[in-house]
């Protein structure tokens, strides 16, 4: 099986966890069950899907997709305005090409310690 085929198979078998019992919090057993499901998914797969359909407008994912396409259709010069070379460590992971070069070094201040989040390869 190709790496792409394995990735598709893994994505189609990832657990989908309903977050409602955790957020609503009225039922202690429901919260424990949700936490246990997340824990088990992390141990077994490393990833999971959260079912948040009860908490978002159904059109929101479509709008997010439209905005993503709009951004990636921009000319490269416009996208580079918010490049990781100008980052503030408040946005997800850098592209793989820059992942190693952009990681904070031991002499850098660690963004997490400043209440910022950096997610990169390492």
* Alpha carbon distance 110, 116 (integer Å): 9
Give how far Cα 116 sits from Cα of 32, 91, 111, Å. 29, 9, 5
User: Of 11, 27, 55, which residue sits at a domain end?
Assistant: 55
Same-domain pairing of 71 and 107: yes
Among residues of the chain, what percentage have pLDDT more than 90? 31
pLDDT in tens, 7-62: 666 557 899 999 988 888 788 899 999 999 999 999 999 999 999 888 888 888 88
First-to-last C-alpha distance (Å) of the chain: 27
Q: Worst-scoring range by mean pLDDT, 51-55, 72-76, 81-85?
A: 81-85
pLDDT of residue 58: 82
pLDDT of residue 56: 84
C-alpha angle with apex 84: 78 to 89, nearest 5 degrees? 130
Give how far Cα 98 sits from Cα of 76, 116, 121, Å. 16, 19, 10
User: Of 10, 27, 55, which residue sits at a domain end?
Assistant: 55
Question: Is 89 a member of any domain?
Answer: yes
Question: Is 84 a member of any domain?
Answer: yes
Q: What is the DSSP letter of 59?
A: T
Q: Name the pTM for this structure.
A: 0.46
């Amino acid at each position: 099986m190709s790496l792409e085929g394995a990735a598709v198979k893994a994505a189609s078998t990832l657990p989908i966890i309903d977050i409602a019992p955790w957020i609503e919090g009225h039922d202690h057993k429901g919260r424990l069950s949700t936490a246990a499901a997340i824990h088990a998914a992390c141990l077994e797969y490393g990833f999971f899907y959260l079912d948040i359909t009860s908490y978002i407008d159904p059109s929101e994912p479509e709008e997010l997709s439209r905005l993503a396409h709009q951004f990636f259709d921009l000319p490269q010069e416009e996208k580079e305005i918010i490049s990781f070379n100008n980052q503030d460590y408040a946005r997800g992971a850098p592209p793989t090409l820059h992942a190693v070069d952009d990681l904070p070094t031991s002499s850098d201040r660690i963004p997490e310690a400043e209440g910022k989040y950096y997610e990169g390869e390492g």
